[in-house]
Amino acid sequence: MTAPLLSFQNVTFGYHRERQPFLRDVTFELQNGRVAAILGPNGAGKTTLLYLTLGWLAAWKGEISLAGRPLREHSRQERGRWLALLPQNEHTPFDYTVLDYTLMGRAPHIPPLGMPAQADYEAALQALEQVGMEALAEAPVPQLSGGEHQLMLLARAITQRPRLLLLDEPTAHLDLHNKSRLIGLMLALRAAGVTILMTNHEPEVVLAVADDVLLMEAGKPPVFGPLEQVVTAEALSRVYGIPIRLAEVEGRKQVLWT
């Protein structure tokens, strides 16, 4: 049987050793070519899980594996070729153009002290076209709207050509048009063989794209499994503390609350 692309086995983590762990005994396996969503309320530890996946944080106990090897055995450059992150927010201190900033996604593929090749520029331009930002390639980054900035960050992550794409609340700054575009793009990336792990607090987005869900609930171990088994009206009502119903509209599940 093929090893999962990403595996968490009994992972426990906290930010202060003298306090209770922030995450306790997190266990799940993400298979290649799947879209998995980490769903839960604010403060549940969703972003922390992404940082553990990137190796930016070290687990107190347990094992995180990437492509069948312990994450700690992968070099920083190897992780950069396997993993890419779309953060929630990122401050850009200099007047880069959109193309130059997107091109930074090629860094793990360029030798130390090397310069981007034509193929790197082509990868960046292709990514900008995928997210609908090609017309703004030469625009200064500080002039972008919040939604445009988010799409540029996604283009940078795609330019990295990762096997596992990590998205941290990817729809948070997007209007309905661009949210629909992003959902379509995630489905296209999955069809192309890219595995996606995203955090989200919008159940309707999760219902639209996810194959699997890691449902996080305060004070309880996360539950991982196929979307239809994990995301139920009962579970969502318990996690969010309000009555929630799931209704089917034109063949798609919708979240309703009062």
Quote the mean pLDDT of the chain.
90
- If we measure between CA atoms, which residue out of 196, 240, 257 comes closest to residue 5? 196
63 pairs with which residues across the strands? 9
Q: In this predicted model, what pLDDT tens digit does every residue of 47-93 receive, in sequence order? A: 999 999 999 999 999 999 999 999 999 999 899 999 999 998 887 76
Residue recorded with tokens 């700054």? 173
Which helix H or strand E contains 149, and what residues bound it?
helix 146-159
What pLDDT score was predicted for residue 174?
A: 83
Give me the residue spans of the domains in the chain: 6-230
Q: Could you give the 3-state DSSP secondary structure of residue 5?
A: coil
Q: Round to the nearest angstrom and report the end-to-end CA distance of the chain.
A: 45
Residue type, position 32, single letter: N
The least confident of 62-66, 111-115, 158-162, 228-232 is: 111-115
Band of pLDDT at residue 1, cut at 50, 70 and 90: low
Q: Which two tokens stand for residue 189?
A: 């990336």
Residue type, position 207, single letter: L
Q: Which two tokens stand for residue 107?
A: 């860094």
For the domain 6-230, what is the CATH code?
A: 3.40.50.300
Query: How many percent of the chain have pLDDT more than 70?
Result: 98
Q: Give the dihedral sign, CA 64/68/73/77.
A: negative
